[in-house]
Structure 1
């Protein structure tokens, strides 16, 4: 049995981090029920804040303006933090200093997925190499690491050097990744992916699509995602 999962997401969306953890659990349950099944997860870009300056801007002032003031923001963070703890996430919003432009983070994810699927071998030589002992599948680790960098450690995920460092921590060649990020390669492909999501009517994330048949919006609990997976497969 085959299952494809398309996840429309942004690394600066806390609900997407929760949704990612819920998806991980749902996939564990699905594989337990379908030991011969093959699941393929593809991460699709979405710009939660498409007007973010390239260099970023102060995080808390932006959110206070967006949500109506300090009190409203604190209440929102409390709700998100409570939901996060249920998924094993201890959000550290106070560590985040800059609201990040995520174009380069999405480019990095795009690049890692090309590496994992071997697409790069037919287009041009692979310039991302794995560290000794890595298992050859970098995308799952990278996705988790990018969310952790943003929400657990307060690292600026709009900065190319930070992104390259995160990639290196996941077994990728940091120098090669930095060279890629310093170019504009795949930027238009990422922008087109965001535009396609909006054309399909996706206005919020996370958004999950199973076998191009069924969709689930928001950080649905694992059992709800599992139900959709089984129906789609």
Structure 2
């Protein structure tokens, strides 16, 4: 039996292309699931902060933030968000930038590592992204994060204590250091089997093709009695 293909994803829950990329990867995985020899895959999410200097409670909407952060005219930002919203819709996501509460995401990243330690990282990643991009929920404050954690089956009190103690901050920083070592400057960034990098929210077919090719090569390399 071949070892599963590892997919390590550097992302930020406040990155609109990361949620789209996640959906496209899921669609790519679903397309291979019915293969006679379906690729076996393990997926792990890693921390990347797009705007670490953002305050927890940002005073303004997403247009205010991007116009100030990127120095872009508001009209250009509005056009950019409209395009992202259209692409998200094609991936089955309903982005609500009018509701979105921009915030610092370091605590959300700590929560993802806490969830990983409990075997619920994927569920927590999905819940955070949905809360942020489609529901207009706050994902920067500890109390709000503890409530979202409880929704996926984590203990709210244990979550709160871990976040208050910065219990997983070192794990976040380690992910960021690994990103720098890989030369990752933007997300989403997918590292497959520790050696192949895929940058950006690629279409589902890109993931399907890479996974099938890697799995076929892996099978060909297996000894006859494996």
TM-score range, shorter chain: 0.7 to 0.9
CA contact (8 A) 2:61 2:98 kept: no
User: Number of residues paired by the alignment?
Assistant: 211
Structure 2 residue ranges without an equivalent (≥5) = 216-226
Find the counterpart in structure 2 of residue 13 from structure 1. Answer: 15
Against the structure 1 CA distance between its residues 71 and 4, is the aligned structure 2 distance closer, same or farther, given a 3 Å change threshold?
A: same
Aligned counterpart, 2:152:
170
- Please list every run of at least 4 consecutive aligned residues from structure 1 whose deviation after the TM superposition is greater than 6 angstroms: none
2:6 aligns with one of 4, 7, 13: 4
Q: 2:137 aligns with which of 155, 159, 179?
A: 155
Which residue of the partner structure matches residue 198 of structure 1?
Answer: 180
What is the SS of the residue equivalent to 2:34? helix
Tell me by how many angstroms 1:67 deviates: 4.9
Q: Distance in 2 between matches of 1:198 and 1:58?
A: 30
In the alignment, the residues of structure 2 paired with residue 36 and residue 199 of structure 1 have an alpha-carbon distance, to the nearest angstrom, of 32
Structure 1 length-normalised TM: 0.85
Shift of 1:174: 1.4
CA RMSD of aligned residues (A): 1.6
- For residues 75-106 of structure 1, the C-alpha deviation after alignment (integer angstroms, 9 at most, x for no partner) is 00111011001100110000023x21111111
Check the 8 A contact 1:18/1:219 in 2, yes or no: yes
Q: Which among 109, 119, 140 is matched to residue 106 of structure 1?
A: 109
- After TM superposition, the structure 1 = structure 2 runs for residues 30-179 of structure 1, keeping only pairs within 5 Å, are 30-33=32-35, 37-60=39-62, 61-65=64-68, 66-97=70-101, 99-116=102-119, 138-179=120-161
**Larger of the two Rg values belongs to structure:** 2
Query: Closer, same or farther in 2 for the Cα pair 1:63/1:213, shift >3 Å?
Result: same
**Maintained 8 Å contact 1:214/1:228:** no
Q: Is the 8 A contact 1:67 1:73 kept in 2?
A: no
Distance 1:76 1:104 in 2: 27
